[in-house]
Amino acid sequence: MKDPETLQQDTSRLWTFPNVLCLARFMGSFVLLPIALLEMPYWFVGIYLLLITTDLVDGPIARKFHQRSNTGAHLDSIADVTLNACLLTGVAILCWKTLQHELLFVGLVIGSYGLSQAFGFWKFRRLLSYHTYAAKFSQWLAMLAAISLILDWSVWPLRIACIIAIFGNLEAIAITAVLKKWQADVLSFFRV
């Protein structure tokens, strides 16, 4: 893995295709809120699936076409957090009766994420952009959980997604503790 300074020098263009996908995911996330308020669950799921697909493809495109950058890593993280926040808000609007019983799980995820980012900001004076395997896996589990809640199937995918997300946030804290300087795209604690 290249160090952050070299990575930034290799790709300093802002308007790369992966970055445009991240910006589209960021801006498109806010579309979910009025759709939830209009109580259109199938449109909500469809647009969410379209947005989450951009997260699936932006990283591989950036690697294949040598368009990785620290800016792109930050954009991806911001877009992911925004999408997750809008997803959670939309699911709360659409499925409050079910979700209110799961607030402990959701609160632990939000709290552990906030703690990991606060620790990273304290140590490195910038937000974390690790994109670990656990974070990626919990993102996909969150997708399944949201669909399951909206379609009134089960709350278990949400609980499992929350547990994996908490583990990922604790892993981010451990990574931050051992890193000497800020680094993007750390796939796991064992790859530090």
pTM: 0.84
Burial class (CB in 10 A: 0-12, 13-18, 19+), 73: buried
CATH assignment of the domain containing 76: 1.20.120
Q: How many domains does the chain have?
A: 1
For 177, the domain range is 4-191
List the pLDDT tens digit at each of the 192 positions of the chain.
444 444 444 445 778 999 999 999 999 999 999 999 999 999 999 999 999 999 888 888 888 888 888 888 889 999 999 999 999 999 999 999 999 999 999 999 999 999 999 999 999 999 899 989 999 899 889 999 999 999 889 999 999 999 999 999 999 999 999 999 999 889 999 988
Question: Do 175 and 130 touch, CB atoms closer than 8 A?
Answer: yes
Of 26, 32, 148, 28, give the one whose Cα is nearest residue 87: 32
